Structure 1
Amino acid sequence: MNILLAGASGFIGRHLSAALLAAGHHVRPLSRRHGADFSQLHSAQHWLPHLAGADVVINAVGIIAEQPGQRFASLHTQAPCALFDACVQAGISRVIQISALGCDDSAFTAYHLSKLAADRHLRSLPLDWLVLRPALVYGPGSASSAAFMQLARLPLLPLPDGGRQLVQPVHISDVVAAVLQALAQGVAGQSVDVVGPQPLRFADWLQTIRAARGQAPAPVLAIPPALLLALLRVGRHLSPLLQPDNLRMLLASRAANPEPLARLLGRPPLSPSPQLFFHADTPGESS
């Protein structure tokens, strides 16, 4: 298939591009590195030249925090909605949207609400759409994984409420496999949560990362969330990941049923193992 991949230079996009090419598809990558400014692609007319010859469109554009020139409304809502409208005009029916776990009626942060708006617009169009909603995605090359690695290596883990929040991390190879299986099977008209096999406490997730690094478990220091939120109002200027809303999303304890993903993959999603933290491929596969 001829596939337009928006967001091809991001963490998920890079892994998707490599896997699609390996599977014999033709990929037209689109990203800032490929000369595309998504903040300027806010009408269907802007997108139509990029769609020539495409059979499938995959949107993997996403940011975890706003920066100058990169705003949630622009990149998560306006540009994707224009892209989806352009697909209708160009007669491209198959569209896969990479959204995020929590983009549903319970959404409350600007990050989730901006992606949810695009998801809803896509579902309203006469397209063979598929919305994939990954949880925290880990694997080599992930900025969030690198940040958690840094946190996990501390001799004492200062965590909100002792890290009792639930997370359900999914390996990048399962995200990629979900897209490949959806293309092969022609899956459409569904919203699938792409999650790990079971939820973990955030503290246990960090201890799992420590084990992958060959480190013993570390003691946990419970920090009041209100104090951490106050600290992040200063820390957000130091790193895009240190945003108060990111902590609020963690405190919301998102978890989901892994069975729909297992049906799509034809197997259960992968459980964390030391190999998976440092390799992009499913064990037993080559890159």
Structure 2
Amino acid sequence: MDASLPAPAGHGLPQRGSPQRVLLVGASGFLGRHIAAALASQSHAVAPVSRRHGLDLARLDSPEAWQPLLVGIDAVINAAGILVEQQGQTFEAVHVRAPQALFDACARAGVQRVVQISALGADGSAFSAYHLSKRAADDALRRLPLDWFVLRPSLVHGADGHSARILMRCARLPWIPVLGTGRQRIQPVLVEDLCATVLACLRAPQARQTLDVVGPEPLTFAEWLQRLRAAQGRAPARLLHIPTAWAYAAAAVAGGLSPLLRRDNLRMLEAGNVADAKPLAQFLGRLPATLAPASGAGAAHAEGAAS
């Protein structure tokens, strides 16, 4: 912990390695489901928060709303996130107001350890509403006297992700469609490695860290789709290059059909999504894994669930 900051108040962390009671926000989403399973595998007790559990983040916009949920809680993980605003679920409500209220409530209740799952690109270069809203919550957490971790994943892949199914279908086509040249740089990470990072955050002696959670190597988007194709036991295919102007025109017309077709998401893909994997490897004590051929794994954006 930074010695210049006051020590967090409260009951302190349980002994490292001992089971904890964890409040998991976004528990019903892609990331939340995997994190809940990883927590259970280590005998941690999970207190889930999501719309499917009767708790709407849009209504949890004050520290007072969160305080009853923090009774008896040792640590908090915020895995909530949306890629598209819809049905009253906005970036401001889900990514900013609810997390800020939660973090303030943790400081008041003495719940020291907080893990915020943000996104790679939620930094000074952020331009999309998605990344800007994630960064706002990250910055709010960093200002508090808590034992915090901000995890910034690149594309997180797991076979049950919504975006995974879309990209896997694209990879199966006779000609694989790519935006422009297909050379946009990305660095996908296995969902298992993200979960391992979250578990490590619960027991790490040194908190107040921002970690980019990425795979072992950068890839182009075309290379990633070819790997997804190989993961399904298929030989490489030729690329179908979609002109960028056409893609943006399609986004204006059909952006509501899929998050991948939204204009901001196309812009984020063009901007690239890579980082140095060495700090994560040092934190985990090993290199992050890579997607194996014919493994059946898929890909998904770093998407939690406000539901």
**TM-score band, normalised by shorter chain:** over 0.9
Structure 1 stretches of 5 or more lacking a match? 281-287
State how far apart, in whole Å, the 1-side matches of 2:46 and 2:32 are. Answer: 11
Match of 1:95 among 114, 135, 142: 114
State how far apart, in whole Å, the 2-side matches of 1:276 and 1:42 are. Answer: 41
Match of 1:135 among 154, 162, 166: 154
| Equivalent residue, structure 1, for 2:140 | 121
Match of 1:179 among 174, 198, 211: 198
Deviation at 1:276, TM superposition (A): 4.8
Indicate yes or no: 2:260 matched with 1:238.
Answer: no
State how far apart, in whole Å, the 1-side matches of 2:59 and 2:175 are. Answer: 45
Structure 2 stretches of 5 or more lacking a match? 1-19, 300-307
Indicate yes or no: 2:101 matched with 1:82.
Answer: yes
Deviation at 1:162, TM superposition (A): 2.3
Q: Which amino acid aligns with 2:266?
A: L
State how far apart, in whole Å, the 2-side matches of 1:193 and 1:253 are. Answer: 14
State how far apart, in whole Å, the 1-side matches of 2:51 and 2:27 are. Answer: 9
- The answer to whether the 8 Å contact 2:117/2:153 transfers is yes
- Say which SS state the counterpart of residue 237 (structure 1) adopts: helix
Query: Relative to 1, partners in 2 of residues 1:224 and 1:12: Cα closer, same or farther, differing over 3 Å?
Result: same
Match of 1:73 among 92, 116, 125: 92
Match of 1:20 among 33, 39, 50: 39
- The answer to whether the 8 Å contact 1:161/1:224 transfers is yes
Match of 1:253 among 272, 296, 303: 272
- The answer to whether the 8 Å contact 1:182/1:264 transfers is no
Indicate yes or no: 2:306 matched with 1:274.
Answer: no
TM-score (norm 1): 0.94
Deviation at 1:157, TM superposition (A): 2.0
Question: How many residues of Structure 1 are paired with residues of Structure 2 in the alignment?
Answer: 280
Percentage of pairs with the same residue: 55
Deviation at 1:65, TM superposition (A): 1.1
Match of 1:47 among 66, 84, 104: 66
State how far apart, in whole Å, the 2-side matches of 1:264 and 1:190 are. Answer: 10
Runs of 4+ in structure 1 deviating by more than 6 angstroms, as ranges, are none
Query: Relative to 1, partners in 2 of residues 1:143 and 1:187: Cα closer, same or farther, differing over 3 Å?
Result: farther
- The answer to whether the 8 Å contact 2:157/2:297 transfers is no
What is the Cα-based RMSD across aligned positions, in Å? 1.4
- Say which SS state the counterpart of residue 257 (structure 2) adopts: coil
Indicate yes or no: 2:229 matched with 1:210.
Answer: yes
- Say which SS state the counterpart of residue 157 (structure 1) adopts: strand
